[in-house]
Amino acid sequence: MKPVDYSLERRELAGWPVTIETYKLDEVYHCTIANVDPGARIARADGATREEAEQQAIAKATRYLQQTRRFSTR
């Protein structure tokens, strides 16, 4: 099995820079959202369509990132 319909996108969610990686294996789309720095995976989801997988992963990631505390570096 090789992934098809692969895409990698940088976006900002809840004030955090993230990468959204989406690909299709067999008949299922997989989406993974990771923090740009240090590259930690935040959320992932599967769906019958690309939009469904991305929508579910974005909803999870947004929820998690909104709960994350930020510390001032000043």
Asked whether residue 74 is domain-assigned, the answer is: no
Q: In the chain, what percentage of residues exceed pLDDT 70?
A: 100
Mean pLDDT of 48-52: 97
Q: In the chain, what percentage of residues exceed pLDDT 90?
A: 78
Asked whether residue 38 is domain-assigned, the answer is: yes
Report the CATH number that the domain containing residue 55 is assigned in CATH: 3.30.67
Cα-based distances in Å from 57 to 37, 43, 66, 74: 18, 6, 14, 33
pTM above 0.75, yes or no: yes
C-alpha atoms less than 13 angstroms from C-alpha of 2 in its C-beta half-sphere: 2
pLDDT at 56 over 80: yes
Asked whether residue 11 is domain-assigned, the answer is: yes
pLDDT in tens, 1-30: 898 999 999 999 998 999 999 999 999 999
Domain count, the chain: 1
Rounded to whole angstroms, how far apart are CA atoms 9 and 20? 5
Neighbours of 23 (CB within 10 A): 18
Asked whether residue 50 is domain-assigned, the answer is: yes
The stretches of the chain forming alpha helices (DSSP H) are: 50-66
